[in-house]
Amino acid sequence: MPELPEVETVRRGLLPHLEGQRIAKLTLNRDGLRWKFPVDLVQVATGATVTGLRRRSKYVLLDLDRDASILIHLGMSGRMLIEGQGVGDFHRDPSILPRHDHVVIETGSGTRITMNDARRFGMVDLIRDDASPMLDGLGPEPLGDEFDGARLAAAFAGRKAPVKALLLDQRVVAGLGNIYVSEALHRAGIDPRRAAGRIGRKRLDDLSGHIKDVLVEAIAAGGSSLRDHRQASGELGYFQHSFRVYGREGQECPRSGCGGKIRRIVQSGRSSFWCPNCQR
């Protein structure tokens, strides 16, 4: 599932093609994906102008000039395709099958934005005033000023749960997933199994900084392409080439002077990659 860097990369790719544009036509090629589409989605969106594009956690929001927003989640395999500047001027990877084109937005300038989702775990909703059960209770954005070691210390206080599990809890911090939590914990030298409430404040300050650094670097690289992720331009992300631990089981730890080997363990049904030699 795309994590914060992948979703932010998609948002930035869509921004110049949608912001300020009028939605001339919105086509739904089925009645829903993970859930049914809102019955008034086409009516509200058609003719509306996109006033802005935002990201909240792992969601993209298209703000409309009708006091409503289109909420998009890419699920496991969703892609947003940008095709041409006019009818007939479309270019797409032939491996991306048109039968998986489920939502199509055509702008007044002739650009076509398509949500293609082979597995159909994505979602598209229409919300007002950011009122959605998908957004309720989300924690702070990790790239925002409100996220720091103090925020982690408050969330972790007295908690016996592993730090890895709590960092994946969207109520603690929004947008983090398996890849970037594993990478940040390695940079911070923290064992993913360690009880969150037993991590000192200085280490939490360092951890919050490493989380920000990993995310910024991943966004700059266009995210990580392991299976389905593509940037809105169709290009792959490249941060997977910078992984220090994720997917590197049995390989030597990249930390200078460590000499340990990367291991994989399963926590709450998810793989955690870590170095037992330098992560304590």
Active-site pick, 11, 55, 58, 164: 58
Q: Residues 253, 259, 265, 267: is their CA dihedral positive or negative?
A: negative
Q: Are residues 87 and 196 in the same domain?
A: no
In a domain, 55, yes or no: yes
Q: Are residues 172 and 106 in the same domain?
A: no
**By the 8 A CB rule, do 218 and 232 touch?**
no
Q: Are residues 265 and 165 in the same domain?
A: yes
pLDDT at 8 (0 to 100)? 93
pLDDT at 126 (0 to 100)? 98
Q: Residues 169, 174, 178, 182: is their CA dihedral positive or negative?
A: negative
pLDDT at 232 (0 to 100)? 56
Q: What is the CATH number of the domain that holds 239?
A: 1.10.8.50
In a domain, 143, yes or no: no
In a domain, 141, yes or no: no
pLDDT at 77 (0 to 100)? 85
Q: Are residues 38 and 87 in the same domain?
A: yes
CB atoms within 10 A of CB 70: 25
Residues 6+ apart with CB under 8 A from 68: 44, 48, 126, 127, 128
Q: Are residues 43 and 157 in the same domain?
A: no
pLDDT at 83 (0 to 100)? 86
Q: Are residues 160 and 241 in the same domain?
A: yes
Q: Are residues 111 and 176 in the same domain?
A: no
pLDDT at 15 (0 to 100)? 95
Vertex 258 angle, CA 255 and 263, to 5°: 80
Active-site pick, 249, 263, 270, 276: 270
pLDDT < 50 regions, the chain: 86-88, 90, 225-226, 229-230, 236-238
pLDDT at 2 (0 to 100)? 84
> What is residue 182's three-state secondary structure?
helix
Question: For this structure, is 264 an active site residue?
Answer: no
In a domain, 133, yes or no: no
In a domain, 17, yes or no: yes
Q: Are residues 123 and 154 in the same domain?
A: no
Q: What is the CATH number of the domain that holds 23?
A: 3.20.190.10
Question: For this structure, is 3 an active site residue?
Answer: yes
Active-site pick, 2, 38, 142, 162: 2
Q: Are residues 182 and 96 in the same domain?
A: no
Domain that holds residue 187: 149-274
Domain count along the chain: 2
In a domain, 140, yes or no: no
DSSP 8-state symbol, 175: S
In a domain, 132, yes or no: no
Q: Are residues 224 and 117 in the same domain?
A: no
